[in-house]
A and B are shown apart, each in its own frame.
Chain A
């Protein structure tokens, strides 16, 4: 009976394993008197590094390389950073923020790759900066991570060299990379440089050239035609300018998407998960090539999340990788997850990473031999996907995300794998597309709008799921095992006095405590507060305001007629004018003629409202205009006024009382607007052309006012009369009127169709209803 076969790696053979340089004293003593220059201090890890240095190492001076943002200078950015709560004690000890800046923090204004000169007295350079989004465009990723790093290292060499280029002192360069530069490998990843033969020079040149290439492709006629047709399908009736604005917006979005896709595909073709990790791996190579005569340490954290203990439990800035998914689960929007239940999700709290970086800064690596450190938890304290699911579920069971009517039951995940989840998403996407198409044909109404809102919500959720699952897809099935022996050895060499404040052993904490007591509350509480504030803001009426009296002549209120003030349409008003003078047989004939033309009219209306109006107004040929006006005054006015909404009339009169100029803009023929002449200062309507006898020719004297003509008219009118369009109001009901509504500062959608409802929702306009409360039924004809 021999020994049982081993089932794991077994104990290490000490002599053969590489040990990193260890700590020889307290960190603050080892770093005393030194100057640490860092990049990325405005980021998550960098901010905590600065805090740790200022708090725990009083004899260390720092320099921070910060980029100015817009009109805000680097100095201002650092000042506002130091005004944050965690720096309060340090600032108080120094007296003021300016005093702190003067004594310990040197602000260096600059950018990657245009790096400024670095101070000559620096001892350690910590490079923390980089794009943290997972899907940057390929040229941006390479610019930041490869070209930027190269420029930084060049400047570092210059700062530590004399005039001839010889190094006068040996700096310690600490490069913060990511553990996932391991790419699509499997199994244990050692703390050493990755082995591959990708040439970073070639790749970065190609990546930077990609932008021009994609731009050129986006301007080709085939691509532009595709985008234009997409825009036209939505905005054609509103007008050409609206369509062209949308087309250009779609083109820039397409360029961005193509660059991201180019990056992802190139990364995958070379064995990395996405362009972020690919570019970071290229950055590591740059470091290895350029720092052969300096001290180099490379720290590779895994997934960095909120802090365990320092500066306080749950300290986090912004959302990190896992957080949108945690929130989505809590809201009930993540019914299933395509992860492998036993795959390890390598989360490491931020303060452990920062402590490790501080310890690394205090080491003295051998010149020319870069040291690699993995900051991860998977080796000795693994958390599987199933495990984190259980923790998150337990947290949300005890602290539901929403109470009362907004609460949702928590989903139970069965981890069926990636395929079933993808299939479900595909079906859901097809279903929503079909429902969308059907809704576009549905008649207007409250119920249709509610259905469209629900459909939009589902589409948004589906988009969210698709985006995140495609982004993180690789990581959900990863079998990477990050070995962190060097890091552990470094931790064990901490001085006894430092083991409390500088500990970074990833096996030292319990996942239940971290996930349920520290991380989930840190992520969900700010969001809960934000949502409560947003609900309070939404409860106030956005654009349908109470009217304040204004100086007359500065504010105008524009109203559309059909469907807004009055519930009617152009064909109905035509029949009102035409049918009463006919006998019963003639009436039937006329109605059947109109019904026969209905398919033409409906098709024309869907394409272009101006064409539709012209077709209907041809039927007025031969009618006497003066007779029509008299008929309207005597017989039709009661009908028109009865179809008008009483709420609309009240609103119009309220505008008049407040001293606003009221304008009626409509494509309806002018005689039909006669009953409203006492209400409006200005009426813009379609004028029928007449011959010398006063009979209508069937043609209009000018193009009917629809779509962009209305907005152009309003702008011209406002310019002529000195009106302030930002204070003005406009009321309309259909998508065609979007340009008119966009011209003013307070647009209101009245009983909108689905296209206008969506635009109103995204822009935050009020959506109201003006129902007609007429005692007469709708079909009643005026008597002759």
Chain B
């Protein structure tokens, strides 16, 4: 069992602590009294087969999977994917889960099996992705016959399954027509909601449910509709914090526990990126892989599984924080959210800082109303032309006009959602769906509603200005800028990366 996370209060014996800004690592001294929230320890993974089999045999609710299968059953395995975890898993537990399910299916003489990747608005999977995640055995048997498909939210062959408020909800045809659906997923955060459900419906439903006005009740309604089309068995693996490989080993350990190897790795990483910014960052951070400990695998009916897995993750990762802080400092690590882009694009960086990190709490926000979030990221305008073209155009054309979500929704959303080039990129080139950046922005705006200011340390001034935020060159300057709002002696909490901290505010 890995050591749990904790809060360190900085005193005069505390060494400089690690901060990551995009692709640049550095050791930063924090002021006395700063509370540093460390995530749970990262440990290497172990063989999850036992846990998976246990989950399949003894579900938390409902019948065991074996009992549901038999000859003549139409089985669909839905692999839920929302782009996480980043950095990606070295041994993807979904591969083992799918293999175990297929073995059960083979034992039960099920011969109509297909695999559907539920991506929703995220990038669909190419053959290369399928091979990498699900392994050669599954890929070679299924890909050749076209039995693995990546769900396309814009496709014309989605089937309607019901309606909400008069609008039809359409979903993936194969999943709708199956008898038994096994959902394979990963939990690495505290969010509600079922990624597999929203990943299988059409774009307009997703837009209505998770768009400008995120409607939890509607989301539940959609989940119920989707679940009603077939018998669903969910298997979710709860994973721990990322354990990075030797060249980035200093990211796994706490600063005072660094050995010589870790110190050398840190120095090498820093110098490499400083000397060759693009190549160095590319080599180290472009697609890092990490080991994730499997805390538990939970199987059973979808709602129960999601609640139970959420509990497990909370128990492992909750860190008790005494009070909401005035200033929340967050490191934004590019490799932690953008595939292939070692530094990370500005909108995704803002989403990571404000929604994923500052929003990861048990109900009471980590920063008080009227407080300030200080995030560290260079905010370079690095957008991939292939996967992030709508993001690039959003940043260049939409944000300078207006920051207001309602206005953006009225003026720009519809044309972007149906733009032929974006849809071409989404379908042929495995890019994100254009609506994704709009939803990202709505969540960013919601998260920064109660904040007085968002300050980017080392960030490009113009990019920060476009998002309505501010920039400062160093952390001390950021505190200086923040002191206008929170006063000269604020309570500062620093979320230590690269793992995820679940703040439980007393």
A: residues with CB less than 8 A from B are 634, 637-638, 641-642, 644, 646, 649-650, 653, 675, 678-679, 773-777, 779-780
Contacts and interface: CB of A to CB of B under 8 A. Distances in A.
Contacts of A775: 340-343, 345, 382-384
B462 interface: no
A649 B389 contact: yes
Contact of A644 (B340, B385, B424, B428): B385
Contact of B384 (A650, A678, A774): A774
A642 B382 contact: no
A642 B389 CA distance: 10
B421 A679 contact: yes
B127 A634 contact: yes
Contacts of A653: 419, 421
B278 interface: yes
Contacts of B483: none
Interface of B: 126-128, 278-279, 282, 286, 340-343, 345, 381-386, 389, 392-393, 396-397, 419-421, 424-425, 428-429
B346 to A, nearest CB: 12
Given A650-B393, A678-B420, A776 B385 contact: no
A641 B126 contact: no
B384 A637 contact: no
Contacts of B342: 775
A678 B392 CA distance: 18
A437 to B, nearest CB: 34
Nearest to A780: B282
Contacts of A641: 384-386, 429
A427 to B, nearest CB: 44
B424 A638 contact: no
Nearest to A779: B279
A349 B165 CA distance: 92
A678 B428 contact: yes
Nearest to A635: B128
A117 B420 CA distance: 76
16 contacts: A641-B384, A644-B385, A646-B383, A646-B389, A649-B385, A653-B421, A679-B421, A773-B382, A774-B382, A775-B341, A775-B383, A776-B278, A776-B286, A777-B279, A777-B282, A779-B279
B128 to A, nearest CB: 7
A659 to B, nearest CB: 14
Contact of B386 (A642, A650, A773, A777): A642
A650 B397 CA distance: 10
Contacts of B278: 776-777
Given A642-B386, A653-B421, A678-B421, 20 more contacts: A634-B126, A637-B386, A637-B429, A638-B429, A646-B383, A646-B392, A649-B385, A649-B389, A653-B419, A675-B429, A678-B420, A678-B425, A678-B428, A774-B384, A774-B385, A775-B341, A775-B342, A775-B384, A777-B278, A779-B279
B233 to A, nearest CB: 34
A653 B420 CA distance: 10
A634 B430 CA distance: 10
Contacts of A780: 282
B381 A773 contact: yes
Nearest to B126: A634
Pairs A-B, 10 closest by C-beta atoms: A678-B424, A641-B386, A775-B382, A777-B278, A775-B341, A641-B385, A777-B279, A638-B386, A646-B392, A644-B385
A676 to B, nearest CB: 10
Contacts of A642: 384-386
- Residue among A634, A644, A646, A774 facing the most chain B CB atoms (10 A cut-off): A646
A2 B342 CA distance: 106
Contacts of A637: 386, 429
Nearest to B430: A638
A1 to B, nearest CB: 92
A775 B341 CA distance: 6
A112 to B, nearest CB: 65
A58 B47 CA distance: 118
B386 A634 contact: no
Contact of B282 (A644, A678, A776): A776
B340 A646 contact: no
A773 B396 CA distance: 13
A777 B282 CA distance: 7
Contacts of A678: 420-421, 424-425, 428
A639 to B, nearest CB: 9
A779 B343 CA distance: 18
A775 B384 CA distance: 7
Contacts of B421: 649, 653, 678-679
Given A773-B381, A775-B382, A780-B282, A650 B429 contact: no
Nearest to B344: A775
A60 B343 CA distance: 89
A774 B382 CA distance: 6
A662 to B, nearest CB: 11
Nearest to B382: A775
Given A641-B429, A678-B420, A779-B279, A634 B128 contact: yes
Contacts of A649: 385, 389, 421
A773 B391 CA distance: 13
B105 to A, nearest CB: 30
Nearest to B343: A775
A100 to B, nearest CB: 61
Nearest to A679: B421
B285 to A, nearest CB: 11
Contacts of B429: 637-638, 641, 675
A646 B393 CA distance: 9
Nearest to A641: B386
Nearest to B385: A641
A779 B386 CA distance: 18
B431 to A, nearest CB: 9
Contacts of A646: 383, 385, 389, 392, 396
A568 to B, nearest CB: 13
Nearest to A652: B421
A641 B424 CA distance: 13
B361 to A, nearest CB: 31
- Residue among B128, B343, B389 facing the most chain A CB atoms (10 A cut-off): B389
A528 to B, nearest CB: 37
Contacts of A650: 393, 396-397
A458 B393 CA distance: 42
Nearest to A776: B282
B468 to A, nearest CB: 22
A775 B391 CA distance: 14
Nearest to A647: B396
A775 B279 CA distance: 10
Nearest to B392: A646
Contacts of B340: 775-776
A52 to B, nearest CB: 64
A675 B128 CA distance: 18
B30 to A, nearest CB: 30
A657 to B, nearest CB: 9
- Residue among B128, B279, B343, B386 facing the most chain A CB atoms (10 A cut-off): B386
Contacts of B396: 646, 650
Contacts of B343: 775
B283 to A, nearest CB: 9
Nearest to B282: A777
A644 B342 CA distance: 19
Contacts of A777: 278-279, 282
A641 B388 CA distance: 11
A339 B355 CA distance: 78
Contacts of B389: 646, 649
Nearest to B428: A678
Nearest to A783: B128
Nearest to B393: A650
Nearest to A777: B278
A646 B391 CA distance: 11
Contacts of B419: 653
